[in-house]
Amino acid sequence: MKIRLGVIGDEACIKIVEEISNEYPKFSIRYFTFNTREDTVSIIQAQEDETDMWLLLEPCAYLYVKEWGGSRKPLFHIPYRGASLFKTLCEIFYNANLAIQDISFDTVPYNDIKRGLAEMNIQCGDTIFVNDFCVQTPVNEVFQYHYDLWKNSKTKAAVTCIDKVKDMLKEAGVPVYRVLPVRLSIRSMFYNMLREFDLQIVKDAQITVQVFEFCILTDDEKVYSTDEIYNEEIKLTQKLIAYAKKVRGSLKSVGQGKFFVFTTRGLLKYITDNFSAIPQIEEFEASEHKLIACGIGIGLSAYEAEFNATTALRNAKRYEKGTWMIVFDDKTITGPLGKKEQLTYSHFSDELQSISYKTSISVATLSKIVGIMEKKKSDTISAQDLAQYMHILPRSARRIIARLEECGIAIEAGEENPNPRGRPRKLYCMKLGQA
C-alpha cells in the first residue's frame, strides 16, 4: 500500500522535492501550488480524504495551517534553518561579498540565525535585522520591512523564506535571496514521514475499549417485570451487536445497562473524525433506550484499555446525557466529543500537583483550566467563561478563581463588557504554566 502524500508549496520548492521523490517509491505524491496562506486551507479541505499526510514547503503556510488546526492528517514541514540558511549565506558571502550587518532576514528566528553564524565563526555583534514574523503577519508587511531598511541604506540585500515576498522585493529593485530547502533536509523529512507512517500503523492497532451505559427502563412511571427488563436488554444488545460489527469489534454485556465493545484505535479514530465528534450511529438513533454516556479507553493491554474506558465513562457522566469522553494510553483526557467546550488535558503533572496542594483544588480541575486556556489561545478568562467550559455554576467558578488568586496564580487583568447593558466582567490572567 502506497502512502498518499500531499505536497503544498511554490513551484521552486516543488521542483526540488520532485527531484528527490523518485528515491522513495512508497509514496504516491500529489503536488499543489498556492498563492496565499488561505489557499492552503482550501486545498487541505478539498483533498483531506484523498491524503494520508501533508508536507508544507513554505514556513508561513505551515504555521497558518497549524493554527487553523482543521486537518486530521499528520502535518510536516522542512525548517528553513541550518543547512538551508547556511547555503543561502554562503551564496551571499561568495557572490555579493556582503557583511551580515548588510542583510535583513524574515521567518527564521533571531536566535537560530545567531547560533548558525556562531557555528560558522562569523562575528555579528548585536546588529542583525530580523523580522519578527508570526502567522498573522501580512506578506505586505514583511515586504515593507525589508524594503524600508534597503531604501534607508541600512541594508544592501534581503533574505526571505516567502516566495511572494521575494517576487515583490525583486520587482522593487531590492537584491533578494530566497532560502530554499536543501536536498539533505528533504531526504531527512521523507525518512521521518516513513517512520511516522509505520508508527501510525502500530498506533492504529492499539486495543481500544468503549463502554456504553444506557437507561434500560425508559418509562419511570411503569413497573417492569424481570422478563420485561430482560427483553429490553435483548433488544438493546441486538443493536449493539450490529454496531460492534461496524467497528469490527466484539461486544460484552455486564448488566445494568453497561456494554463493552472491544475494537482498535484506528477504527474509533475514523468513526469519531480523529476523536473530535460523536459519530452518527444508526442503531443508536433508532433506539428508544437513552444513552447515558460513553467512555473510550486506549491502552497497551486489554486491561489498561478497559480501565481507561471506565475512567472516561465516569468523567463523561459529569456532563449532560449522551456525552462521549476518551482516556488515552498516556492518561490524557479528551472530551466532551463534538462540543464547543471539548478539551484535552492530563491528570499527571508535578507542577499541578504542587498547585493543588497549595490551593486544595484537584489536579483534574487545574488540568481542565490549562486545557481551556490552550483552547482559547489566551491567558485571560472570566468566571462566566470558565463556568461555561467546565459545566459548573458561575459561583463555583468564582470560588476556584478566588483560591487561585490567593496563591498569586490568578491575577486580575482588567474587564470585558460582552453586553453593553450588563455589568462588566472581571478578567483574570492565569499563571498555571508559570507557577
Q: What is the dihedral of CA 399, 402, 403, 409, to 10 degrees?
A: 140
Instruction: Please state the pTM of the whole predicted model.
Output: 0.67
Fold designation for 3-78+183-201: Rossmann fold (3.40.50)
- Ramachandran sector of residue 403 (left: φ over 0; alpha: ψ -120 to 50; beta: rest): alpha
The residue that leads in pLDDT, 124 or 230, is 230
Question: Do residues 267 and 248 make contact, with C-beta atoms less than 8 angstroms apart?
Answer: yes
- pLDDT of residue 70 exceeding 50, the answer is yes
Whole-number pLDDT of residue 358: 81
What pLDDT, in 10s, does the model give residues 7-31?
A: 999 898 999 999 999 899 999 999 9
Which CATH code of 1.10.10.10, 2.60.130.10, 2.60.40.1930, 3.40.190.10 fits the domain covering 345-434?
A: 1.10.10.10
CATH dotted code for 205-339: 3.30.70.270
CATH 3.40.50 fits 83-178, yes or no: yes
Helix (H, G, I), strand (E, B) or coil at 32: strand
Whole-number pLDDT of residue 97: 82
Do 3-78+183-201 and 83-178 come out as alike in CATH topology?
Answer: yes
Round the average pLDDT of the chain to a whole number and report it: 85
pLDDT band at 332 (very low <50, low <70, confident <90, very high): confident
What pLDDT, in 10s, does the model give residues 231-266?
A: 878 888 888 898 899 889 999 988 778 999 999 999
Query: What mean pLDDT comes out for the span 392-400?
Result: 88
Helix (H) or strand (E) holding 34: none
Q: Could you state, in order of their start, the residue ranges of all structural domains in the chain?
A: 3-78+183-201, 83-178, 205-339, 345-434
Whole-number pLDDT of residue 435: 42
Provide DSSP, 348-414: --HHHHHHHHHH---HHHHHHHHHHHHHHTSSEEEHHHHHHHHT--HHHHHHHHHHHHHTTSEEEEE
Whole-number pLDDT of residue 4: 94
